[in-house]
Structure 1
Amino acid sequence: MRARNRFLAFLTGALLLVAPVPGIAADVEPWRNKDHAIVIDAYEMNEIDWPLLLTDKRIAGFISKASDGLPESFDCKGEHDGDTVAHCKTMWRKYAVSRELYETRRLLARAQGLLWGAYHLARPGNPVDQANHFLDYARPQPDEMMVLDIEAIDPKKFMSLEDAQIFAGHVRTRTGRYPVLYTNHSTAKYIAANRDKYRILSRLPLWYARYKPGIRKVFPLGNWDNYALWQFSAAANCNKRRCPYRVKGTFNDIDVNVVPMNRADLTKIWAFGDLLPEKPFETGEPPVDDIVTASVARAAAADEPKSLPVKAAAVSFAGLAASADATVTFVVRNGAPAVPDAAVAPEQIADGSEKTTPAAAPPHATP
């Protein structure tokens, strides 16, 4: 009898280890829950057998690498950051091929009913030129996700967080939508801890990269109560012997993501584009109702101020120097603009368009 009881106790414990436990399904291996949709992301060197990949009906979306840093030079005249002319031409050919591959994948994915997204790998350099490069490369449609990829806090290798805010604001200026932010835990934690400084980045929906079976006690993280996507499987933790999730028709280096919802719910919010609500600070400062970015063209003379309508108010740009383009970020509290936001001062940019649709919070991190 005692042996039987010990066996039953062992069996009960084993079942508890594998059975879903209410309240923790979202932070411990949620990809095992078949109700949670899967999203694939890939760069140009990932080999994909599309007929095989499409046999996995849990795959709801595909996010492709689009642009990488600043645009390549077509004519290869002048300076090329120390590169030779031959290397410049090689890089242009690679760019042309990757651009065609991007369009081909997009046609295939959308034709098969997959949600489509594109990401920009952010590098050092003018953030507005990079934002324009991304939008010209990806040509995102209103129902497609846009992603800003910040790999780490290393301004010598990747875009600085200050420039990333300008990038995000300029994307909003041109498209009326903010991008999703892709990053790892350490960078997300830093942004969350300094959200008073990064008022835009800390409110972008988070695509979270973490190659561990669980993220318990990670969220809430600043303004993030949860991830929008969780990149849980990649070459870093997937090999021939063991892999969190294998995708047919691909190799071990494919990136796999889970979302905390089913395919139908994901489709409703896929394009994202809005900022998350801002939580109050410990200092008691009230949360921001809205953040609006505007691009002011170089041609705007100091004696000819431009105005940006924010809800019922008009904000003057007369104080900006006529010799410099600028992106200005405004915060709105109680329906009234505060000019400008102290956290994001005027920065260098180059576009004269203005889009000022107010942002609202949505319902809820790529090499």
Structure 2
Amino acid sequence: MKLAATLATLALSFNAGAAEFNAPWNDAQIALVIDPYAANSLKWDALAGEPRVVAIIHKATIGTQGLDKAYWTRKAEARQRGYLWGSYHWGVAGDPEKQADYYLDTVKPGDDELIALDLEDATSKTLMSAAEAVRFIERIHARSGRYPVLYTNHASAVLISKTYKNSVFAHTPLWYARFKTQVTDFPKGLWPTYTLWQFSSEIKPQKAIPGTRSDMDVNVFNGSVEQLRTAWPLTQRAP
């Protein structure tokens, strides 16, 4: 109830004027989240110079066998330094239930850790499809009692909003990938707004974070640092 009330207040505060879609990262009160993988350089002492970065979501597993080589060492360091922690699974084509099992059995996420599915392209023949993502999410929920955060791009979000209205996607908080400073065509339907918005990456760097390079993925949370701390691990979507 506390989380739902927090997210409800959060949504109401941002819906006025659609401020959440107009470069919200320029607001000094808004929380930021980085999502690195092994190839991203990360200098911890310098990162501490950005107090709005209080959470890290790290690439963990790929398919049914892959594991990011930096995952465990960075998790240990992040935990020691007091960061909120999360992980994501990179979905590939085939065996979505087996991928879900591999992800959970490998990461063994605690109740305070965010879990997420990286659905890079819902129409790809080599990456996980939207239909397979449904099965992945159902498996995660059956085993953990939680729905993962869903990372996906604009085109895939549009497809899912139109085609999968009565599905488990309705329970997933949206981690929206869109490298623009303003968004006027957010695909409302399943999601009235985003929970996280990945707005900066090597594709189009827009925000420099101390201790990182321009290839670091940077995300804005739809709320303040304290609201992020309260809502973490984002097991419910923004209402």
Mark yes or no: TM-score above 0.5.
yes
- Partner residue in 2 for 1:71: 65
- Partner residue in 1 for 2:198: 231
Please tell me whether residue 251 in structure 1 is matched to residue 218 in structure 2: no
- Partner residue in 1 for 2:5: none
Q: Helix, strand or coil: the match of 2:77?
A: helix
Stretches (4+) displaced over 4 A: none
- Partner residue in 1 for 2:158: 189
C-alpha displacement of 1:149: 0.7
The answer for unaligned runs of 5 or more in structure 2 is 1-15
- Partner residue in 1 for 2:4: none
Q: Helix, strand or coil: the match of 2:106?
A: helix
> Following the alignment from structure 1 to structure 2, what is the Cα–Cα distance between the partners of residues 363 and 25?
15
- Partner residue in 1 for 2:173: 205
C-alpha displacement of 1:114: 1.2
Corresponding letter in the other structure for 2:105: D
- Partner residue in 1 for 2:74: 105
Q: Confirm or deny: 8 A CA contact 2:123 2:130 kept in the other structure.
A: no
Of stretches 198-207 and 108-117 in structure 1, the one that deviates more from structure 2 is 198-207
- Partner residue in 2 for 1:264: 226
Q: Confirm or deny: 8 A CA contact 2:194 2:238 kept in the other structure.
A: no
Q: Confirm or deny: 8 A CA contact 1:191 1:202 kept in the other structure.
A: no
**Normalising by structure 1, what TM-score?**
0.59
Structure index of larger Rg: 1
- Partner residue in 1 for 2:7: none
The answer for unaligned runs of 5 or more in structure 1 is 1-21, 73-94, 239-243, 275-361
Q: Which has the higher contact order (CA 8 A, sep 6+)?
A: 2
**Normalising by structure 2, what TM-score?**
0.88
One of 12, 15, 19 as aligned partner of 1:25? 19
Quick one: percent identity of the two aligned structures?
A: 37
Q: Helix, strand or coil: the match of 1:142?
A: coil
Q: Helix, strand or coil: the match of 2:35?
A: strand
Q: How many residues matched?
A: 224
1:150-170 Cα deviation digits (max 9, x unpaired):
111234221121111111111
Please tell me whether residue 216 in structure 1 is matched to residue 190 in structure 2: no
User: Relative to total residues, which structure has the larger helix share, 1 or 2?
Assistant: 2
The CA RMSD over aligned residues, in Å, is 1.6
- Partner residue in 1 for 2:84: 115
Q: Confirm or deny: 8 A CA contact 2:123 2:156 kept in the other structure.
A: no
Q: Confirm or deny: 8 A CA contact 1:70 1:125 kept in the other structure.
A: no
Q: Confirm or deny: 8 A CA contact 1:195 1:222 kept in the other structure.
A: no
C-alpha displacement of 1:216: 2.5
Q: Helix, strand or coil: the match of 1:260?
A: strand
C-alpha displacement of 1:138: 1.6
One of 136, 151, 154 as aligned partner of 1:167? 136
One of 131, 144, 152 as aligned partner of 2:113? 144
- Partner residue in 1 for 2:3: none
1:238-297 Cα deviation digits (max 9, x unpaired):
2xxxxx2101111110000001211111112112234xxxxxxxxxxxxxxxxxxxxxxx
Corresponding letter in the other structure for 1:206: L
Q: Confirm or deny: 8 A CA contact 1:30 1:258 kept in the other structure.
A: yes
One of 21, 33, 39 as aligned partner of 2:33? 39
1:68-126 Cα deviation digits (max 9, x unpaired):
11215xxxxxxxxxxxxxxxxxxxxxx4xx34x21111111122221111000000121
- Partner residue in 2 for 1:323: none
Of stretches 177-186 and 262-271 in structure 1, the one that deviates more from structure 2 is 262-271
Corresponding letter in the other structure for 1:40: I
> Following the alignment from structure 2 to structure 1, what is the Cα–Cα distance between the partners of residues 98 and 18?
42
C-alpha displacement of 1:233: 0.3
Q: Helix, strand or coil: the match of 1:271?
A: coil
Corresponding letter in the other structure for 2:231: I
> Following the alignment from structure 1 to structure 2, what is the Cα–Cα distance between the partners of residues 188 and 156?
17
Q: Confirm or deny: 8 A CA contact 1:65 1:119 kept in the other structure.
A: yes
